[in-house]
């Protein structure tokens, strides 16, 4: 099994290759003058092998890049790793007329790969939209083992992040709690306390995504 690093996961893919001792297959990529992407995988060998493909989906361009890679590799067996799974927050219809964005992405990927692995994906709801094997792994325990946790409490800035706070807290044998967040728009949010008593404690805030930073910023202001 060889490794292919998508454009957005070069560093991680190279680390993975180093740790596992697996060979990397190079990808040539460029942009046409109108902005369209071009890719070519490997040299002139046939691509009917087994590959670990690693590509985070941070931008829309990353999604197109992944679709091109999957098409180039369509004779192969692909174990796809998506460290950052974009569009996972729209995992249901909140209002009539909206798509389930993660379903659209999952549908375009599922029949082209054997398995998808994500890292701390936004919610467990995501798994049901993938029609291939799906697994999510967590980095929070590893992160917890690297942090000074003396006199600390772990706080999730909203209930959705409670599971991540628990992973972190369990690893370090700490208490954890969450705040109650109400979102009015992409940038307008309000945070209220749950059962939190944080006076005199060091606080470790744990969340899956920092996008505008509004959630973390509001949480910090409230906790202060
Ligand atoms: C939302 O449910 C997520 O878990 C994050 O809390 C959110 O996406 C963070 O976004 P922002 O940094 O824009 O507040």
Neighbour-count burial of 151, counting CB atoms closer than 10 A to its CB (0-12 exposed, 13-18 middle, 19+ buried): exposed
Phi-psi region of 134 (alpha: psi -120 to 50; beta: other; left: phi over 0): beta
**Runs of H (alpha helix) within 118-196:** 140-144, 162-172
What average pLDDT is seen over the chain?
93
More confident residue, 167 or 190: 167
Residue given tokens 């728009």 in the structure block: 185
Ligand 1 centroid, distance to 113 Cα (angstroms): 29
Q: What are the residues facing 82 on neighbouring strands? A: 118
Which of 120, 165, 215, 218 has most ligand 1 atoms within 8 Å of its beta carbon, as the pocket-test mutant?
215
Q: Are strands 180-183 and 202-205 parallel, antiparallel or unpaired?
A: unpaired
- pLDDT digits over 10-29, tens only? 999 999 999 999 999 999 99
Using DSSP, state whether 153 is helix, strand or coil. strand
Q: Whose CA is nearest to atom 5 of ligand 1?
A: 209
pTM above 0.75, yes or no: yes
CB-based contact 46:72 (threshold 8 Å): no
Is residue 7 pLDDT above 80, yes or no? Answer: yes
Ligand 1: which of 102, 163, 189, 210 to mutate, judged by most atoms within 8 Å of the beta carbon?
Answer: 210
> Rounded CA gap, 205 and 31, in Å?
40
The two three-digit tokens of residue 218, written as one number: 């509001």
Q: What is the pLDDT of residues 78-121, one digit of tens each?
A: 999 999 999 999 999 999 999 999 999 999 999 999 999 999 99
Ligand 1, pocket residues at CB < 6 Å? 89, 158, 160-161, 207-215
């Amino acid at each position: 099994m060889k490794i292919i690093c998508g454009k957005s996961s070069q560093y991680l893919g190279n680390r993975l290759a180093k740790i596992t001792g697996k060979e990397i297959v190079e990808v040539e990529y460029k942009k046409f003058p109108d902005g369209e992407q071009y890719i070519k995988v490997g040299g002139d060998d046939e691509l009917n092998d087994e590959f670990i493909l690693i590509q985070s989906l941070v931008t829309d361009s990353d999604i197109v890049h992944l679709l091109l890679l999957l098409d180039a590799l369509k004779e192969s067996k692909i174990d796809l790793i998506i460290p950052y799974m974009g569009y996972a927050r729209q995992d249901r219809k909140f209002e009539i007329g909206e798509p389930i964005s993660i379903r659209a992405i999952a549908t375009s990927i599922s029949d082209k790969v054997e398995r998808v692995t994500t890292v701390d994906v936004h919610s467990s709801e995501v798994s049901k939209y993938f029609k291939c094997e799906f697994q999510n792994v967590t980095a929070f325990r590893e992160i917890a083992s690297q942090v000074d946790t003396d006199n600390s409490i772990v706080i999730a800035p909203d209930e959705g992040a409670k599971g991540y706070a628990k992973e972190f807290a369990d690893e370090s044998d700490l208490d954890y709690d969450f705040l109650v967040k109400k979102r009015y728009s992409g940038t307008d949010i309000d945070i209220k306390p749950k059962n939190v008593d944080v006076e005199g404690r060091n606080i470790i805030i744990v969340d899956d995504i920092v996008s505008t930073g509004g959630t973390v910023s509001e949480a910090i202001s409230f906790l202060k």
